[in-house]
Amino acid sequence: MRALALFVGLVLLALLLSALVNYPLHLLLQGDGGAPHSLINTTGKLILLPCFLLLLRHRGLANRRDLGYALPRRAFLADLLKGLGMGLTILLVLAAVLLALEIRVPRPFTDGLPALLAKTLAVALIGGLLIGFIEETFFRGGLFAAVRRQSGPGTTLVLTSLFYAWMHFIDPQPLPPGQAIGWDSGLRILAGTFDGYTDSATIGPFLALFLLGLYLGVIRERTGNIAYAIGLHAGVVVVIKTLRKLTTVDTDNDLAHLVSHYDGTIGYLSAAGLALHLILVFRHWRRPRA
């Protein structure tokens, strides 16, 4: 628990520091950094990165093995591509179900659809790989290794997956209309950052992300590396980004509650599918022989 508490404290510290420097940065950038609440999000991530690296060094985790990069380059790439294929497959099945149930419907395009599709896929793949590398290095790399040193596999899987889901709903909100931007505006924005946890609509996507975290964590525990997890994570992101670009949620559909306001894709339906995949990977994915 101490290791997890350090990571939670690290995130909260990054948010607090980003809130304190929000107004000076807003003045310095003259609004080019975006709205103040967006600036808090960006600044918090920039503060978090060096703090994360320092924490890894402090915990003795700044090495390839603990971060999940111990595989030889060719084997790492092979596992990453296998994971990418699985991530694409899982989410394409979900996308097909959402389209068949007309929960998501195609956007109207008059022309240029092949070019748009090619561009969307290219951007989504690059973004997916970046997100996969960054998030898996953080969650199934450093965080997983830190908690695993102090806890058994079951506790580590649950705690790191809860943390993974929790992080996705840290969402700084805009200042209420009429409130001026000032020296304390960052703290006022920060006060509403966790309001999403009081919304019942968060339950579905939180559950889906928790199960995805468990799925990726089991793979990390069984393989000892994060190559497959990076690829799988990237494949999930590719389909979600493409689906959001080319389709939209039909809010009049009686089944629309099965997807979330978070990204219009994950929710109770994806949670059910991930639970099935989790059972399968837990039962059939064995540790490799030494």
Q: Tens digit of pLDDT for each residue in 106-136?
A: 988 767 788 888 999 999 999 999 999 999 9
**Domain of 64?**
2-284
Residue 136 resides in a domain: yes
Q: What is the mean pLDDT of each run of 10 residues along the chain (290 residues)?
A: 89 92 84 76 90 90 92 95 95 95 88 85 95 95 94 94 94 83 87 83 92 95 94 96 93 90 89 91 69
Residue 290 resides in a domain: no
Residue 289 resides in a domain: no
Q: Which of 7, 13, 180, 171 is nearest to 21 (CA)?
A: 13
pTM, to two decimals: 0.91
Per the CB < 8 A criterion, the answer to whether 278 and 218 are in contact is yes
Q: Supply the angle between the helices 2-20 and 22-29 in degrees, to the nearest 10.
A: 50
How many domains does one find in the chain?
Answer: 1
Q: Using CA atoms, how far apart are residues 91 and 232, in angstroms rounded to an integer?
A: 10
Residue 245 resides in a domain: yes
Q: Which residues, in sequence order, are CB contacts of 157 under 8 Å at separation 6+?
A: 214, 217, 218, 221
